[in-house]
């Protein structure tokens, strides 16, 4: 049916529903909709439950996720090749030496700039 031939507010879907004697079959209720539907629209089998099984499944999913995270972390930690004691000591000395050298360099630059600004004022 073209747009010109349609009457205002009538489409193929609601034209069949508006015709007399043509009652649309009831739409099946999905489980996700049943939980959020008002009490009168829920199926009789769903009305008595208060949602406790859903809470258990959410809690089980969360604990399962935490367990998986823990086991994955342990597996990754086992893959690490840790340095021996001598390598750790040598690298620590290098880090400390670089830190002291940079501290002295920045301190020297700061001192020189301070002296220059003192002389200008």
Domain ranges in the chain are 50-80, 83-121
Distant-in-sequence, close-in-space partners of 51: CB < 8 Å, separation ≥ 6:
35
Task: Check residue 10 and give its pLDDT.
Answer: 52
Task: Check residue 57 and give its pLDDT.
Answer: 81
Distant-in-sequence, close-in-space partners of 42: CB < 8 Å, separation ≥ 6:
29, 34
Task: Check residue 119 and give its pLDDT.
Answer: 93
Query: In whole angstroms, how far apart are CA 12 and each of 1, 17, 54?
Result: 8, 9, 39
pLDDT along the chain (121 residues), means of 10: 53 52 61 55 56 68 91 95 96 98 98 95 82
Asked whether the beta carbons of 29 and 41 are under 8 A apart, the reply is yes
């Amino acid at each position: 049916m073209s747009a010109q031939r349609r009457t205002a507010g009538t489409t193929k879907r609601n034209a069949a529903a508006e015709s007399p004697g043509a009652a649309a079959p009831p739409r099946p209720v999905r489980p996700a909709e049943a939980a959020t539907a008002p009490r009168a629209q829920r199926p009789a089998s769903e009305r008595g439950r208060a949602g406790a099984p859903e809470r258990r499944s959410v809690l089980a999913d969360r604990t399962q996720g935490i367990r998986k995270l823990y086991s994955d972390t342990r597996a990754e930690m086992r893959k690490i090749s840790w340095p021996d004691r001598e390598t750790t000591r040598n690298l620590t000395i290098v880090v400390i030496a670089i830190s002291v050298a940079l501290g002295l360099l920045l301190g020297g630059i700061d001192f020189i700039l301070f002296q220059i600004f003192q002389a200008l004022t």
